[in-house]
Structure 1
């Protein structure tokens, strides 16, 4: 009986040992990470002695083992861009490109551990542009180049007025803002953002409280009107003076040859000036 019990214990120990040694490689959940075009990214998994860096379905793109580090084995596009940081012992990918996005796996071959990282690469977001400033009604249009996961938002102070985004990267994002008189003194801003950067542009006050152009615009237009008005007055005065001179010079002539001032038609330039004054004032 004791002999049978001993054999049973040995079998149980053997089965347990086989099950433990045949466990699959320990693998953690995929970590989502962000990178920036042109910069470097380090996969935060310390290499102990020997390890592989795998990418998507390509398999190993770099490996390290005692005496040799960061040897590229696949894909020329990664050539000279992968190394092992001597201080952190992290695989580092430099000069990031948009198409470097994907799932990478750091496999510590001596420890039997695998850690996955889903890398997404972004550009710095562009600066928004105020492309229009109309006065009837008082409104502006804010726009920005559309790229991966870019959003465009209009704020009044800290309040979100409107926002937009689009998966269609061929078209710019734009938002229109109409400013009501009662909100004229509020502060408005346009913000473009993606997961790694943002750009804020204050929206200028291009209109006055009553919806007309602001003082700077009015001054420019006012100076233009004054200049044109002066020119018209000078031209009209000269033509009227000429007509009076012609009238007086013919006072001694016979009535048949008398030129009546009332019969003189207004020259075209005088008519144009009069029309301008009618529209402008």
Structure 2
């Protein structure tokens, strides 16, 4: 019984505890990533890193011999480093091939513990392209006179977990998810015209980075440059001129009517004055005296 108990105890210490928790780590392609052990290596500790479901050897630091070993596999050769104090694994110039599960094995005396890391490698995001879309305009006459501006935001060479979105300022207008297998990799924006006060942006993003392209008048015409806007401005200008002409005509007619009224009033006043003078008695006697004489 004692021998069995000792055997079971030794077996437990040798096997140790397998951690079920997997830590997720994201990195941009071409950058470096560090997987942390969260321990300080002691002299007798052995830290081993493996990759994938087949536990492909990546690197090991042996406390007793104070030595570090690295894999000769093409994926990791000249790309990995180990921190000699903590055993942290550093992968430099990472590529999409390094995506996957990494397992850390820490051997301290008879006790063995494990940690797992899920590494996601994101490709560099492309700068979105903004293209004016005329396909939705049916005829050439409509094309020349229509105010509508349809802009496509397109991306190429994308990987997974990528979204393409239109923003007005900081407000999200629309968004789609795309990947390397997506048939549709563009999203459209419909505008009447582009106002100077409005800022429209197409944003391509994944969980760790973004690329932004702003909409400008090279792609979509300004509201002040639109045919209808110019026509409306001419209508307003002509309306103002016509109203001014009417006002001038009214003023001239009013002035003439006033002048005619003044002349007529003056003439009537003169006649009345003459009539009043001719009807006085003194005037009649003078006339009779002149006749008698």
> Which residue of structure 2 lines up, in the alignment, with residue 109 of structure 1?
107
> TM-score, normalised on structure 2?
0.60
Q: Secondary structure at the match of 2:160?
A: coil
Q: 1:153 aligns with which of 165, 179, 194?
A: 165
CA-CA distance at 1:60 after TM superposition: 2.3
Q: How many residues align?
A: 203
C-alpha separation in 2, matches of 1:53 and 1:123: 24
The residue aligned with 2:51 is: 55
Superposition deviation, residue 83 in structure 1:
1.7
Is 2:152 the partner of 1:141?
yes
Tell me what 1:43 maps to.
35
Task: Please say if 1:22 is aligned against 2:22.
Answer: no
Secondary structure of the 2:94 match is coil
Cα distance in 1 between the residues matched to 2:104 and 2:171: 44
1:198 aligned partner: 210
Q: Which runs of 5+ in 1 are unaligned?
A: 1-10, 216-281
Partner Cα separation in structure 2 for residue 88 and residue 21 of structure 1: 27
TM-score by length of 1: 0.62
CA displacement, residues 8-41 of structure 1 (integer Å, 9 cap, x when unaligned): xxx7x98776655433422321111112212221
For residues 1-281 of structure 1, the aligned pairs below 5 Å read 20-23=9-12, 24-28=15-19, 29-45=21-37, 46=39, 48=41, 49-56=45-52, 57-65=54-62, 66-72=65-71, 75-86=73-84, 88-110=86-108, 111-132=111-132, 136=146, 137-145=148-156, 146-169=158-181, 173-180=185-192, 185-205=197-217, 206-209=220-223, 212=226
Root-mean-square deviation (Å) = 3.1
Q: SS of the residue aligned with 2:159?
A: coil
CA 1:182 to 1:93, structure 2 compared with 1: closer, same or farther past 3 Å?
closer
2:200–2:215 contact (8 Å) kept in structure 1? yes
Q: Judging changes above 3 Å, is the alpha-carbon distance between structure 1 residues 87 and 131 closer, same or farther for their aligned structure 2 residues?
A: farther
Cα distance in 2 between the residues matched to 1:177 and 1:170: 20
Residues 22-75 of structure 1, C-alpha deviation per residue, up to 9 Å, x if partnerless? Answer: 334223211111122122211111462311111111432222213311332x62
Contact 1:70 1:82 in 2 (8 A): no
Q: Which structure: larger Rg?
A: 2
